[in-house]
């Protein structure tokens, strides 16, 4: 699929059929994640791929309310940034998240971004701290977000160019 078609075709998918995803496909997602631009090329991102269903169920509790989409997911990719490497770590990790999310769609998989920064668990623990403890994250890394990935049940209708709100754009000045 051409890149512009993929951009319109991509949707957030929150319900999956279950089953695993081949290792080479997961690696293709990671290649996509790490091939994007990063501030000064510093690449402050770190990735943890979680396929263990028990760990995935614990990750589902990272947010309040619990995010149901984890229930049928095949895997979760947690994207951490190292603020000591680059002050653009949030942007860099967001680029990686977006690239993986798009690549998942292009590979026929479903995926959804789950926000972690600025979010808490049901008992008020910062979501990033909760996930970092589960994944044994080294001191100094901050969790940006998680990409929940699975085999698609049903792909929602793609976006179309006609859906895009061009009234949000001004030319030359506001
Ligand atoms: C920064 C960011 C945070 C998001 N957080 C969540 C989330 O926590 N849970 C969720 O189900 N979807 C989340 N989404 C997905 C959006 O809800 C989704 O992109 C939006 O509704 C538009 O739908 P579409 O992706 O199908 O075009 C997030 C997306 C972004 C970019």
- Nearest residue (by CA) to ligand 1, atom 6, is 114
Q: How far is the CA of 114 from the centre of ligand 1 (A)?
A: 7
Count of domains in the chain?
1
Residues 35, 94: Cα–Cα separation, whole Å = 13
Nearest 10 degrees: Cα torsion 94, 100, 102, 106: 170
pLDDT in tens, 56-72: 999 999 999 989 999 99
Q: Is the pLDDT of residue 1 over 90?
A: no
What is the domain range of residue 91? 3-153
- Around Cβ 114, how many Cβ atoms within 10 Å? 24
Residues 149, 131: Cα–Cα separation, whole Å = 17
Answer yes or no: is 174 within a domain.
Answer: no
Kindly state the average pLDDT of the residues 102-122.
Answer: 97
Q: What angle do CA 145, 3, 8 make, to 5 degrees?
A: 70
110, 111, 112: residue to mutate for ligand 1 pocket, most atoms within 8 A of CB: 112
pLDDT in tens, 34-55: 999 999 999 999 999 999 999 9
Residues 40, 87: Cα–Cα separation, whole Å = 10
Kindly state the average pLDDT of the residues 145-164.
Answer: 96
Answer yes or no: is 166 within a domain.
Answer: no
Edge-to-edge strands, sheet with 109-115: 45-50, 75-81, 142-151, 109-115
Answer yes or no: is 75 within a domain.
Answer: yes
- Nearest atom in ligand 1 to the alpha carbon of residue 156 is 26
Answer yes or no: is 94 within a domain.
Answer: yes
User: For the domain that residue 15 is a member of, what is the CATH number?
Assistant: 3.40.109.10
115, 119, 120, 157: residue to mutate for ligand 1 pocket, most atoms within 8 A of CB: 115
Residues 79, 148: Cα–Cα separation, whole Å = 11
Residues with CB under 6 A from ligand 1: 11-12, 14, 112-115
Q: How confident is the model at residue 153 (pLDDT cuts 50, 70, 90)?
A: very high
Answer yes or no: is 159 within a domain.
Answer: no
The tokens for 97 are 């998240």
Residues 28, 64: Cα–Cα separation, whole Å = 31
């Amino acid at each position: 699929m051409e890149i512009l078609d993929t951009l319109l075709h991509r949707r957030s998918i929150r319900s999956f059929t279950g089953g695993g995803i081949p290792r080479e496909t997961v690696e293709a997602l990671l290649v996509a994640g790490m091939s994007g631009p990063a501030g000064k090329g510093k690449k402050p991102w770190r990735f943890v791929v979680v396929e263990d269903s028990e760990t995935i169920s614990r990750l589902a509790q990272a947010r309040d309310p619990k995010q149901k989409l984890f229930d049928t997911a095949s895997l979760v990719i947690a994207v951490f940034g190292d603020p000591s490497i680059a002050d653009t770590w949030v942007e860099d990790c967001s680029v990686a998240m977006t690239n993986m999310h798009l690549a998942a769609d292009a590979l026929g998989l479903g995926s959804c971004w789950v926000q972690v920064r600025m979010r808490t668990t049901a008992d008020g623990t910062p979501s990033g701290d909760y996930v970092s403890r589960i994944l044994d994250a080294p001191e100094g890394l901050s969790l940006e977000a998680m990409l929940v990935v699975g085999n698609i049940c049903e792909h929602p209708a793609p976006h179309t160019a006609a859906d895009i709100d061009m009234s949000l754009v001004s030319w030359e000045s506001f």
